[in-house]
A and B are shown apart, each in its own frame.
Chain A
Amino acid sequence: MTVLAPHDVAIVAQSIARMGESVFADLECLRAVTVAALTEDPSRRGLGPLEPLCADLLTRPGQLPVGCGFVAARDALRDAPYWLEWWTVPGNGQASVPSRLQVVVDPDADDFRDYTSLPWFAVPMSTGARHTTGPYVDYLCTDEYALTFSVPVTAGGAFRGIVGADVFVRHVEQRTLSQIEALPGTVTLVNSQGRVLVSNDGVTDTGSLVRDVPVAAMWAAPDGDVVDQGGAVLYRCGDLPLALLVTR
């Protein structure tokens, strides 16, 4: 019989929470610089000060994000109806100079995608609060299975867009799998919908939805870091919409 060690599970959940919070801390700097830039000159050129900060954020040793930047609300810039000031690195472990993401921003083009309806933009726009999207296939920026952390940007009392950071799910796995493997029992890192990031049980695939445990319903339970239901226990990763699900 497996003996669960709840204390250890909670520690791993906390370390995952810290990982996410460090991304949000970086985004807080990026948000402040963006607000200043937009107040000074709300144009593509005016966003110049973002580049060195994004470059630093992506290339500092041990950094998790592979992409970050500012995504403008419709007509937030005076010289472009849509705009992504977004920088990326390949995320393959090789040191490299960040490059600016090129996206179709002409609303009349056939392959234009109106990003303002995508969750990483639409949710912070409507709630005014930070948001973690995914895991999902990020076909606009990275073409990879990713998480996107985003924070709304307001200036002069109006919503101007979001600052965000992309993180590859495989990088989250690299940083968590050894800890999760070391835990006794079946442990799966899931989002608030029960979408799997990584599991130690060998049959629960990344990207699948946990269906035998009602994760979304457990998530809606009153506050508390640990939710126990019918033998399945959810250890929340702080305030992130991520949790470790422990099943027998």
Chain B
Amino acid sequence: MTKTTPARLSRGARAAVFAPLDPLGRAEVVTRRLSDAIALGLLHDGEQLPSESALAERFGVSTVTVREALTVLRQRGLVETRRGRAGGSFVRAPEDPAVAVLRARLRELSLGDIRDLCDHYAAINGAAARLAADRASPEDVERMDHDTGLLAEASDAGSRRRAEGQFHVELAAAAQSARLTKEEIALQTEVAPLLWMGYDDESARRQAVERHRQITVAVTRGDSSAARSAAEAHVVDGLRRLSRLHRELARG
């Protein structure tokens, strides 16, 4: 066996090594479990939840923790509590469950977490854009154009998210890198829904369409540094919207 080299980690890197593994409190875990179940439709609109003591027993937590979680869910409008003989906690499924679960997840992230996710996503997208400018064929660019058109025409949140995601997968594929494409797809499931949830806002969508055009034009020209800058700026646009939304949610 080779001799272990002395660790030369910076203080920041050492701190990351010893960072807490589970930053969520128990009440938050319960909250998240229930809100995910509601968003996924596992718990139906109007369905009565088990009593506080039954939930506490099932989750293996105290009733205080359950009560805390239910309070948060009530504040988010996902649960309604009725008093009296036929009382209890009832599920209130939101109209667009996907948005509700995204909001719930966004609350749980810190501004630093959001920035870090965006750093990772910008690194992958920026590198993909740079390489695509070197390697894209006219057909690759055509597909990127097509996806930008889909985003411009998308009429609901689902088709906007899909058009946005598709553009970025095509960009990574245009870089001719299977690894970057896989990384893009993996990251999309984690970050993209959050990043583009602000698309309810028409000006945000116009800005995104404009960024897609900038990236596509730079790729067409073979201008790798402009392609990279536009791709990174596109992610930063999302980061700005996301942190604004996060702060709004925190204000309640």
Binding site for B on A (CB under 8 A): 108, 110-113, 117, 119, 135-137, 139, 143-145, 193, 195, 206-209
Contacts and interface: CB of A to CB of B under 8 A. Distances in A.
A208 B176 contact: yes
Interface in B160-175: 161-162, 165-166, 169, 172-173, 175
A119 to B, nearest CB: 7
Given A139-B169, A145-B176, A193-B139, 19 more contacts: A110-B158, A110-B165, A110-B193, A112-B162, A117-B146, A119-B139, A135-B176, A136-B176, A137-B172, A137-B175, A137-B177, A137-B181, A139-B173, A139-B185, A143-B178, A193-B137, A206-B176, A207-B176, A208-B134
Contacts of A209: 134-135, 137
A144 B166 CA distance: 17
A9 B165 CA distance: 43
23 contacts: A110-B98, A110-B161, A110-B162, A110-B193, A112-B162, A119-B139, A135-B176, A136-B176, A137-B173, A137-B175, A137-B178, A139-B169, A139-B173, A139-B181, A139-B185, A144-B178, A145-B178, A193-B139, A206-B176, A207-B177, A208-B176, A209-B134, A209-B135
B171 to A, nearest CB: 11
A-B interface, 4 closest residue pairs, ranked by CB to CB distance from nearest: A207-B176, A137-B173, A137-B181, A145-B178
A144 B176 CA distance: 10
Contacts of B161: 110
Nearest to A118: B143
A97 B165 CA distance: 33
Contacts of B175: 137
A143 B158 contact: no
B182 interface: yes
A195 B139 CA distance: 12
Contacts of B166: 113
Contacts of B181: 137, 139, 143
A136 B173 contact: yes
A205 to B, nearest CB: 9
A207 B143 CA distance: 18
Contacts of A108: 158
A190 to B, nearest CB: 12
Interface string B126-166: 00000000110101000100100000000000100110011
A137 B146 contact: no
B223 to A, nearest CB: 14
A112 B176 CA distance: 22
Contact of A207 (B135, B158, B162, B165): B135
Interface string B192-219: 0100000000000000000000000000
A195 B137 contact: yes
A102 to B, nearest CB: 15
A6 B228 CA distance: 42
A207 B181 CA distance: 14
A35 B192 CA distance: 41
Contacts of A137: 172-173, 175-178, 181
A24 to B, nearest CB: 22
Query: Which of A108, A111, A117 has the most B CB atoms < 10 Å from its CB?
Result: A111
A118 to B, nearest CB: 8
A217 B156 CA distance: 43
B146 to A, nearest CB: 7
Contacts of B169: 139
A106 to B, nearest CB: 12
Query: Which of B98, B162, B193 has the most A CB atoms < 10 Å from its CB?
Result: B162
B173 A208 contact: no
B148 to A, nearest CB: 14
A2 B162 CA distance: 53
Contacts of B178: 137, 143-145
Interface string B66-100: 00000000000000000000000000000000100
A135 B182 CA distance: 16
Nearest to B139: A119
A145 B181 CA distance: 10
A144 B181 CA distance: 9
Contacts of B139: 119, 193
A189 to B, nearest CB: 15
